Amino acid sequence: MSQSESSVHEVLVKEVLQVSGYSYLRVTQNNKELWLATPPVEAKEGETWYYEGGFEMVDFKSKELDRTFPSILFLDAISNAPIDKTAGGELVSPGAAMVKSGKKEISITPAAGAITIAELFSNKENYKEKTVRVTAEVTKFSPEIMNTNWIHLQDGTESEGNFDLTVTSSETLNVGDIVVLEGKITLDKDLGYGYFYEVLMEDAKIIK
């Protein structure tokens, strides 16, 4: 797994495969063919799209397609319009859930034994290496990355700008689901390639 260059890239779409949670795009970039995995987008053959960053996975197998990609680049976002970085533009992925881009206006009553995301972040040292329970809404779900599913949660609370909790789990969820999840809290998790988590809930399970 390796990180790509950070500059904006322009690609031409040659093929689109839609699965739950992802769009797989076969594209050409500077006469070179490659596969991209993006949040769901309505891309069509012949269109030009733009991206930056991304993380390459080698010999990645899609269970839904029953297909192994020798190399595929996973993206957090992709745009169908050119991005002027000097003007402060940001990549936006149509159809992708908001994560870190804005706090959702929601109000959720914690289930029995659950804590709020604000409480978790404001007193994170108290929960280090402990199992905690949260009640929250799924704002993003990314399946089968590094052999686990990645979930982003919000519950309407916030502590010093932290309102989004990242979770790893084998559970399959949908954006918009209100769930009670329980998992172990890890602090300052550095996965490399720019993926650093101040607070991460790992191996979370749904509490019925």
pLDDT of residue 204: 97
Read off φ and ψ for residue 166, nearest 5 degrees. Answer: -95, 135
- pLDDT value of residue 62: 87
pTM: 0.62
Task: Please give the torsion angle defined by the CA atoms of residues 150, 105, 87 and 25, in that order, rounded to the nearest 10 degrees.
Answer: 40
Q: Tokens 């749904």 sit at which residue?
A: 206
pLDDT at position 194, please?
56
Per-residue model confidence (pLDDT) at position 173:
93
**Per CATH, domain 117-206 is 3.90.1640.10:** no
Kindly report the CATH number that applies to the domain delimited by 2-87.
2.40.50.140
The reply to whether 117-206 shares the fold of 2-87 is yes
Tens place of pLDDT for every residue, the chain, 208 residues?
Answer: 334 444 789 999 999 999 877 899 999 999 899 999 988 888 999 999 998 888 888 888 888 889 999 999 988 888 888 755 444 444 443 333 333 446 888 999 999 999 999 999 999 999 999 999 999 999 988 887 777 888 999 999 999 999 999 999 999 999 899 999 999 999 998 876 557 889 999 999 999 8
Domains of the chain: which residue ranges? 2-87, 117-206
Give how far Cα 20 sits from Cα of 38, 40, 126, 175, 179, Å. 11, 8, 37, 11, 19
Give the side-chain half-sphere CA count within 13 A for 164.
16
